[in-house]
Amino acid sequence: MGGFQGHLFPGLSIFFYGLYHARLISKALICNRPVQYPPHRPWSQGRWARLRQIHYVGLVKILSSFILVAQELHSVQGQFVLISKIFHQRSFIYDKQWQHLTFYATFFLSGCVDVVSQNVLPQRAPALEQGAQALSMFLILTLMVSHVEDAEGVELYSHILFIQVLFLLLLVGIAELWAPNSLRFWAMKALLYMIAGSWMIQIGFMLFKPISGHKWMDDDKNDILFVTTFFCWHVISLAMLMIWIYGFSFWWYHYRYQSDVLMSLF
């Protein structure tokens, strides 16, 4: 995640994952169904019926992890190793890159759990998926705490805000293990995922491609204050986005329901 693209692509992945959860919670509220088992049309019995039952979100996680790993390895100059052996001294190198790869590995493992549990253990799939999400959040939070040791100023403060969101996500993920169908927890998780993703993208713009064209200054208190202001704007904007998603989903499902009723009359 070193560089603009290193913040953009993971941020987009997390943000769209939050949008997916926002759609699930909206569908569950509108149809009055458990959020773990949203209503859907019956699968066809044709040749591709089994393919349609694959957990596509899990496949997207796996594919995105491969893309992120390829992007990270492409940015490494020289031979990518864990320990150097120069002058008979052994020391760890590429510490940031190895942390990034571990970060992406959590995406991959979570996607594998989604796909396998959905097709092998469908009865226990929700519990396994939520456990994998909680474990992923714990690993990512652990990595991010040490990731900012050499940061300062705007970079440090923006990453502290990102760590706060990850910590709240971890708490929600752990609470979901005991209340898997709580609509409150699912709504909070959707909002926090979107905040984490959009804020990671914002960090990339602030540090590497500021929209104003002027570099953010670490010794300027105004810049530090506006980091917090922008973060609050993200939270308010995404809360309004969730309300819009629910309103659009409500209109869409009722429109489809009325269309199906009218079609049945003819």
At 50 the pLDDT is 45
Orientation of helix 153-176 relative to helix 183-208, angle to 10°: 160
Position 2 confidence tier, pLDDT thresholds 50, 70, 90 = low
Over pLDDT 70: what percentage of the chain?
Answer: 81
DSSP letter, residue 85: E
At 257 the pLDDT is 61
Closest to 183 (Cα-Cα) out of 217, 213, 175: 175
At 266 the pLDDT is 38
Mean per-residue pLDDT, 80-108? 77
- In our burial notation (b when 16+ CB lie closer than 10 A, e otherwise), range 208-224 reads eeeeeeeebeeeeeebb
At 119 the pLDDT is 65
At 223 the pLDDT is 86
Q: Are strands 83-86 and 89-92 parallel, antiparallel or unpaired?
A: antiparallel
Say which residue, 53 or 21, is predicted with more confidence: 21
Candidate ranges 29-33, 84-88, 116-120; pick with highest mean pLDDT: 29-33
203-225 confidence digits (pLDDT tens): 999 988 888 778 888 888 888 88
**Tokens at 36, concatenated:** 């773990």
Q: Is the pLDDT of residue 155 over 80?
A: yes
At 259 the pLDDT is 55
Say which residue, 179 or 228, is predicted with more confidence: 228
The helix/strand/coil state of 92 is strand
Query: Residue 76 CA to chain centroid, in angstroms?
Result: 24
CA atoms 219, 221, 223, 228: torsion sign: positive
Q: Is the pLDDT of residue 97 over 50?
A: yes
14-40 confidence digits (pLDDT tens): 999 899 889 888 888 887 766 655 444
For residues 141 and 88, give the distance between their C-alpha atoms in angstroms, rounded to a whole number: 35
Closest to 62 (Cα-Cα) out of 23, 106, 24, 93: 106
Over pLDDT 90: what percentage of the chain?
Answer: 24
CB 129 within 8 A of CB 111: no
> What is the H or E stretch that residue 102 is in?
helix 95-120
Position 190 confidence tier, pLDDT thresholds 50, 70, 90 = very high
Q: Is the pLDDT of residue 53 over 60?
A: no
Amino acid code (one letter) for 19: L
Say which residue, 152 or 203, is predicted with more confidence: 203
Position 55 confidence tier, pLDDT thresholds 50, 70, 90 = low
DSSP letter, residue 211: T
Position 197 confidence tier, pLDDT thresholds 50, 70, 90 = very high
Candidate ranges 42-46, 62-66, 167-171; pick with highest mean pLDDT: 167-171
